[in-house]
Amino acid sequence: MQKTFIYILILSLCSTALRAQETVYPAKPQQGLVFLRNATIHVGNGQVIQNGTIGFNNGKIIAVGANVPIPADDVKVFDANGQHVYPGLIAPESNLGLTEVESVRATNDYEEVGEINPSVRSIVSYNTDSKVIATLRTNGILLAQVVPQGGLVSGSSSVVQLDAWNWEDAAYKTDNGIHFFMPRLMPRANPFGSAAAGPATDAVKAAMEKVASVKSFLREAQAYAANGQHAETNLKYAAVKGLFNKTQKFFIHADLVKELIVAADFAKEFDIDVVIVGGTDAWMITDVLKKYNIPVILSQPHSLPVMADDDVDQPYKTPAQLQKAGVLFCISNEGFWQQRNLPFNAGTAGAYGMTKEEALSSVTLNAAKILGIADKTGSLEVGKDANIVVSTGDILDMKSSVITRAYIQGREVSLEDKHKQLYERYKYKYDLK
Q: DSSP letters along 85-117, please?
A: EEEPEEEEEE-BTTBS-TT-GGGB-SB-SSSB-
pTM metric for this prediction: 0.90
Average confidence (pLDDT) over 133-150:
96
Confidence of residue 193 (pLDDT cuts 50, 70, 90): low
Whether residue 118 contacts residue 128, with contact meaning beta carbons closer than 8 Å, is answered with no
Whether residue 44 contacts residue 380, with contact meaning beta carbons closer than 8 Å, is answered with yes
Whether residue 387 contacts residue 88, with contact meaning beta carbons closer than 8 Å, is answered with yes
Distance of CA 421 to the CA centre of its chain: 25
Confidence of residue 22 (pLDDT cuts 50, 70, 90): low
Q: What are phi and psi of 96, to 5 degrees?
A: -55, 135
Using alpha carbons only, give the angle 328, 86, 66 rounded to the nearest 5 degrees: 110
Q: With 0-12 CB in 10 A as exposed, 13-18 as middle and 19+ as buried, what is 233?
A: exposed
Residues 339, 361: Cα–Cα separation, whole Å = 17
Single out the residue of 403, 337, 345, 388 nearest to residue 62, CA to CA: 388
Residues 391, 42: Cα–Cα separation, whole Å = 11
Q: Dump pLDDT digits (tens) for 233-268.
A: 999 999 999 999 999 999 999 999 999 999 999 999
| pLDDT on residue 301 | 85
pLDDT at residue 17 above 50? no
The bridge status of strand 249-254 relative to strand 274-278 is: parallel
Q: With 0-12 CB in 10 A as exposed, 13-18 as middle and 19+ as buried, what is 392?
A: middle
Whether residue 369 contacts residue 379, with contact meaning beta carbons closer than 8 Å, is answered with no
Single out the residue of 186, 216, 406 nearest to residue 306, CA to CA: 186
Whether residue 38 contacts residue 431, with contact meaning beta carbons closer than 8 Å, is answered with no
pLDDT at residue 119 above 70? yes
5-19, 61-75, 152-166: the lowest-pLDDT one: 5-19
Q: Dump pLDDT digits (tens) for 34-71.
A: 999 999 999 999 999 999 999 999 999 999 999 899 99
Confidence of residue 302 (pLDDT cuts 50, 70, 90): confident
pLDDT at residue 281 above 50? yes
| pLDDT on residue 198 | 52
Confidence of residue 308 (pLDDT cuts 50, 70, 90): confident
Could you tell me how many residues make up the chain? 433
CA gyration radius, the chain: 24
If DSSP codes are grouped into helix, strand and coil, which group holds residue 405?
strand
Distances (CA, A) of 49 to 45, 65, 283: 12, 7, 32
